[in-house]
Structures are given as C-alpha cells and as structure tokens.
Structure 1
Amino acid sequence: MSLELEHECPECGETRTFWKVASMEVHLGTKMKWDCPECDYGFVQIDGNVDSSAV
C-alpha cells in the first residue's frame, strides 16, 4: 500500500498529494487516515469504500 494518495482537497481547492498518517485494522477492513501537507485537512478511508471526505 502506498504512503501517498492523489485526492481533491476541499480546503486548498485543487488536487493534492495526501500522506498516510495512520493505518489500522477494524471490523470493516483497513482504516487509513490521510492528511494534506499544505493545509492539514484530513480524511479517513475504510477499505477504499467508506470515505469521510465525501461528506
């Protein structure tokens, strides 16, 4: 699994390279926390299916 992810940052208003800052196994799958190095916006993904940035 990569330590970087290209993703739209709502705070910066453009696509940024997010860094994985945490990862752990939960009952739904692998939970990963990603942070934007430019503005510190962060979001969580669970197994790539659940994405808190979509809220």
Structure 2
Amino acid sequence: MARELDHHCPDCGQERTFYRAAATELHLGQKTKWYCPECGFGFVRIDGDIDSTASA
C-alpha cells in the first residue's frame, strides 16, 4: 500500500500530498487514515471507495 496520496485538501484549498497515518482491516475492506502535513487536515478512506471528505 502506498504511503503517499495526492488529494485535494479542503483546508489548504489545493492539491496536496497526504501521508498515511494508520491502516487497519475491517469487514468493509481496508480503512486508511490520511493527513495533510501542511495544515493537519485528515480524512479516512475505506477500501479506496468510501471517502470521508465527501461528507464534509
């Protein structure tokens, strides 16, 4: 699994490189926590399909 992810950061307002903070296996798939080192914004992805930034 990659340790870096390019993703839009809503706090910074631009594309940033997020870093993986943690990962664990759930019944839904792999849950991965990502954070922006520039501002500290974090989000969760589950199995690459479910993204918590969509609910923000």
Q: TM-score range by the shorter chain?
A: over 0.9
Structure 1 gaps, min length 5? none
Corresponding pairs, count: 55
- Aligned-pair RMSD on alpha carbons? 0.4
CA distance in 2, matches of 1:7, 1:14: 8
1:2 is aligned to 2
The list of structure 1 runs, each at least 4 consecutive aligned residues, that deviate by more than 6 angstroms after superposition, is none
TM-score scaled to structure 1, two decimals?
A: 0.98
Deviation of 1:42 after TM superposition, in Å, equals: 0.2
Aligned to 1:31: 31
Q: What one-letter code is carried by the residue in structure 2 that aligns with 1:43?
A: F
Q: Percent identity?
A: 58
TM-score (structure 2 length as normaliser): 0.96
SS at match of 1:12: coil
Q: Offset of 1:49 from its aligned partner?
A: 0.7
1:47 corresponding residue in structure 2: 47
* Equivalent position of 1:18 in the other structure: 18
